[in-house]
Amino acid sequence: MISTSKGNFPFVSFAFGVILLMKGALCCVGQTPERTWLRVVTGDDSIIEVDRTSLVIDKNGIVRADFRTTLASREPTGAKSSETYQTRLDNVQFDTKSDRYRITLTALLDASGKTVVSHIANDANGWKAITGTGRLLFSAASQLAPFGWWTVKSYRYASGETMRGDDPTELTSLVGANLCLRLSYVQAFNKTCQSGLRAHDDNE
């Protein structure tokens, strides 16, 4: 039988489970179907998009997502390189506790979509404050699934059993309920509580 509680807000853990099971996420940089890219920034010489399926929630308040920058014209991959690229794919990691971000993986693609240069960051001190464009990227990432509003369609027990006709009202009333998951809070059943995703660890 599912039974969870947190303070005066029952079923919070259950709500998290429902939301997180609704949507999977990719965790590597790579070209994905065009329908998964959402526009984030439109500039004079480039467009930045985020892959709506790429959000990963790591421990210790870290989230990451994949971003694509498409240039209006090709640029050299390096000062002394004859190779050019027109698309840049970045896996960006955000530290939600300290408002910092860093790029952990980059791939440069030519006009045909072929990867010409890839780079994995190994600088543990490469964090930057989330400001300017970084703030726009963070805002986009924090709105990807599983964040946002969800409607509970069904539930099941930890044993794998599905809904039954004699289930208690506290469970059957979940069906049709709207849940909202954000970085800093969960809102469900007309109540709001801290989500823990952006909260500091107890031992800090």
The contacts of residue 181 (CB under 8 Å, 6+ apart) are: 15, 16, 19, 146, 147, 148, 150, 195
Q: What pLDDT, on a 0 to 100 scale, did the predictor assign at position 28?
A: 38
E strands present in 77-171: 84-95, 100-109, 115-120, 128-129, 148-151
Closest CA to 148 of 189, 178, 103: 178
- Global pTM reads 0.73
Q: Mind listing the pLDDT tens digit for each residue in 137-146?
A: 999 999 999 9
Q: Mind listing the pLDDT tens digit for each residue in 152-180?
A: 888 888 888 888 888 998 888 889 989 89
Residues of the chain within CATH 2.40.128.710 domain(s) are 25-141
Tell me what the pLDDT averaged over the chain comes to.
Answer: 80
CATH of domain 25-141: 2.40.128.710
